[in-house]
Chain A
Amino acid sequence: MILFILAILLFLIGLYGVLVKRNLIKMIIGLMIMEYAVNLIFTLVGYRSGGTAPIVTDSISSVLYVDPLPQALVLTAIVIGLGTTALAVSFAVRIFEKYDTFDVRKIRKLRG
């Protein structure tokens, strides 16, 4: 349970970053922290205390093994996260070229 709470705390730290930071890159980092926190939660969901790795071997004796599904899903989620992050960072760079700033308060041509 404590691990869950810590992971959610990590999520909130990420949310804080997105909510408060003015710098584009820092906002992206906040988003990444949120993603990783969620990945962590997902892995924790599949974890069984004292469970073994879910690998089928001949000498399988213990019935208790960690749930393999979340691990597979987290791998996918990490890849998706990579995609979004790469896209966001590349846009941040392009925005810097156009606006000469990373300050989100100055990047507001679109409003109203």
Chain B
Amino acid sequence: MNFIPLFVIVPLGAAFLMPVVSRLWKGMSDVLGNLAALFLMVWSFAALQMGHETTVFYAGGWEPVASIPIGIAMVMDGLTVFMLIIINVIGFAVTLYSVNYMNHYTDKAKYYTLFLLMMAGLNGVVLAGDLFNLFVFLEISAIASYSLVAFGIGSEELEASFKYQILGGTASTLILMGIAFFYHMTGTLNLADASTVIQQLGTHPGIIFVSILFLVGFSLKAALIPFHAWLPDAHPSAPAPISAMLSGVVIKVLGVYALIRIFFNVFGITAMPSVLTIFIVLGSVSMVAGAFLAISQSDFKRMLAYSSISQIGYVLFALGLGTPLGILGAMFHLINHAAFKSLLFLNSGAVVYRTNTRDLDQLGGISQKMPVTGITSLLGSLSISGLPPFGGFWSKLIIIMAAVESGHFALAGVAVFTSIVTLAYYMKLQKEAFYGALKASFGKLKEAPFLMSLSVILLAIVVTGMGLLLIPEFKSVILDPAVKIISGGLNYSKLVLGG
């Protein structure tokens, strides 16, 4: 048995088992959910060993005929492994956290079902070797996340989820239309195969049209301004573990990963340099406007949500530079952001769990009563603000170096400026929520339950030590293969199809 499909089969199977086993014993859903997530995390680390070379799995044994793939392919290469690690590590931290947190809500089994479906979709997206499967998995995780956002069924949750659905649905139809035209142009949906066809076609207006459809569709999933409007509603309204998952993982997988795969590996970025400029423009607009929007928020989670827009802007900006250093910065920032944004959202959940509010004006001084939450959120805030020696500092350093290296001096200044604004609003967050005088009503506050604390402590350790990823021994295992695949560009098709 090839071990690639297990990334999809295990969560999918667990999701369908969930309603059954939860009838046997109530605690069973926790156990099953966590076992599945733990398995996925371990499995993704096991996949690291394969990250150096591209491995292809053909479903049903439909091997390619004369180098033309005819079956459904699952491709695992450096970039995929990198994304798998992000998805499954954060996924495990989130399931661990959910054990206590989701006691707030009524039906845990349904929650885990939806959550595991989302995981299956996310793992599927990064493994998909053809465009249509990518779309199907994307829709699976999107539908699961629509439902998860509304899991509390309060009026705000429903509203947020509905907006998310309409905007997400519009984007999905655009992507599907893109796929239709893409198939029309190339006659294949396999990414590697299509890549060779497109190279022969050259810059065809049809290809450009398709690329616009994909660009817009996936930019919405990545929540780049001006396609971002669903995010500040959906991410705060979701239950905290889901917010962590959405901000930490989903926007990256459905948005950034898909953009990278399609534009760098399939279309070939050298063929359409204007896309790089668009990445830079969208990235820097999101970066700056997201930061400004975040600074004026008084809602804990909404501020974090706008911050996600801003940080994804950094990633896209760095990608748009197109140089290997820029790509390294983008990937490093991606993994950093996954860690600290999930951490911060889980912290916000702990605050909400104990205080029942996320309004910064009503909070204050709670790190006296909740030291673990306070300290871990401080670590997360310092890291995302780019203060040394945390991971965020290194990724911002690399991004700015890449910007200067490629001659974008002014934009490097913009990135630095944004990081100052980022520092400002995270300090505001710390001051308003965790420091200052303790509000009288919080006199009997307790630290978050054990598993929630454990989960945030694990993430805080990851956040603090993330700078170590730059040490050559780790870099060559995790970051370099991903960067190699992206900057390798059109080599992708050779790697997948062989020869």
Is A6 at the interface (CB under 8 A from chain B)?
A: no
In the bound complex, residues from chain A placing their C-beta under 8 Å from that of B45 are none
| CA of A84 to CA of B172, assembled, Å | 10
Interface stretch of the complex, out of A48-56, A57-65, A87-95: A87-95
Interface stretch of the complex, out of B89-97, B175-183, B338-346, B471-479: B175-183
Interface stretch of the complex, out of B46-54, B142-150, B380-388: B142-150
B237 contacts A91, CB within 8 Å? no
Q: Residues 293-307 of chain B: 1 if any A CB is under 8 Å from the residue's CB, otherwise 0?
A: 000110000100000
Q: Known contacts A80-B139, A84-B143: does B170 contact A24 (CB below 8 Å)?
A: no
| CA of A18 to CA of B132, assembled, Å | 25
A91 contacts B176, CB within 8 Å? no
Is A66 at the interface (CB under 8 A from chain B)?
A: no
B136 contacts A91, CB within 8 Å? no
A99 contacts B143, CB within 8 Å? no
Q: Known contacts A31-B166, A87-B165: does B147 contact A70 (CB below 8 Å)?
A: no
Is B447 at the interface (CB under 8 A from chain A)?
A: no
B20 to chain A, nearest CB (A): 21
B139 contacts A24, CB within 8 Å? no
A2 to chain B, nearest CB (A): 16
Q: Residues 98-109 of chain A: 1 if any B CB is under 8 Å from the residue's CB, otherwise 0?
A: 110000000111
Is B169 at the interface (CB under 8 A from chain A)?
A: yes
Interface stretch of the complex, out of B101-109, B156-164, B390-398: B156-164
| CA of A92 to CA of B162, assembled, Å | 7
Interface residue SS majority, chain B: helix
B464 to chain A, nearest CB (A): 33
| CA of A16 to CA of B297, assembled, Å | 32
A84 contacts B139, CB within 8 Å? yes
Number of interface residues of A (CB under 8 A): 36
In the bound complex, residues from chain A placing their C-beta under 8 Å from that of B147 are 87
Contact of A98 among B143, B158, B172 (CB under 8 A): B158
Contact of A95 among B158, B181, B297 (CB under 8 A): B158
B152 to chain A, nearest CB (A): 11
| CA of A45 to CA of B184, assembled, Å | 6
In the complex, which residue of chain B has the Cβ closest to the Cβ of A84?
B169
In the bound complex, residues from chain B placing their C-beta under 8 Å from that of A69 are 183, 189
Q: Known contacts A95-B158, A95-B159, A112-B302: does B177 contact A84 (CB below 8 Å)?
A: no
B169 contacts A99, CB within 8 Å? no
B146 contacts A35, CB within 8 Å? no
Among B172, B173, B184, B233, the most chain A Cβ lie within 10 Å of the Cβ of B173
Is B457 at the interface (CB under 8 A from chain A)?
A: no
| CA of A107 to CA of B162, assembled, Å | 10
Q: Residues 1-45 of chain A: 1 if any B CB is under 8 Å from the residue's CB, otherwise 0?
A: 000000000010011001000001001100100110110011001
| CA of A31 to CA of B166, assembled, Å | 7
Among B139, B146, B162, the most chain A Cβ lie within 10 Å of the Cβ of B162
B191 to chain A, nearest CB (A): 15
Is B155 at the interface (CB under 8 A from chain A)?
A: yes
B166 contacts A107, CB within 8 Å? no
Q: Known contacts A73-B132, A92-B162, A110-B237: does B170 contact A41 (CB below 8 Å)?
A: no
Contact of B176 among A28, A31, A38, A98 (CB under 8 A): A38
Is B421 at the interface (CB under 8 A from chain A)?
A: no
| CA of A20 to CA of B78, assembled, Å | 44
| CA of A41 to CA of B181, assembled, Å | 8
B158 contacts A27, CB within 8 Å? no
Q: Known contacts A70-B180, A70-B183: does B159 contact A107 (CB below 8 Å)?
A: yes
Is B153 at the interface (CB under 8 A from chain A)?
A: yes
In the bound complex, residues from chain B placing their C-beta under 8 Å from that of A88 are 162, 165-166, 169
In the bound complex, residues from chain A placing their C-beta under 8 Å from that of B159 are 95, 99, 107-110
In the bound complex, residues from chain B placing their C-beta under 8 Å from that of A24 are 162
CB-defined A-B contacts under 8 Å, sample of 24: A11-B173, A24-B162, A27-B166, A31-B166, A31-B170, A31-B173, A41-B180, A42-B180, A45-B180, A73-B189, A77-B176, A80-B136, A80-B143, A83-B143, A84-B139, A84-B146, A87-B143, A88-B165, A94-B153, A99-B159, A107-B159, A110-B232, A110-B237, A112-B302
The interface of chain B, by Cβ under 8 A from chain A, is 132, 136, 139, 143, 146-147, 150, 153-156, 158-163, 165-166, 169-170, 172-173, 176-177, 179-181, 183-184, 189, 232-233, 237, 296-297, 302
The interface of chain A, by Cβ under 8 A from chain B, is 11, 14-15, 18, 24, 27-28, 31, 34-35, 37-38, 41-42, 45, 69-70, 73, 76-77, 80, 83-84, 87-88, 91-92, 94-95, 98-99, 107-110, 112
* Known contacts A83-B139, A84-B172, A109-B156; 19 further A-B pairs (Cβ under 8 A): A24-B162, A31-B166, A34-B170, A35-B169, A35-B176, A41-B181, A42-B179, A45-B184, A73-B179, A73-B189, A91-B150, A94-B158, A95-B158, A107-B159, A110-B160, A110-B163, A110-B232, A112-B296, A112-B297
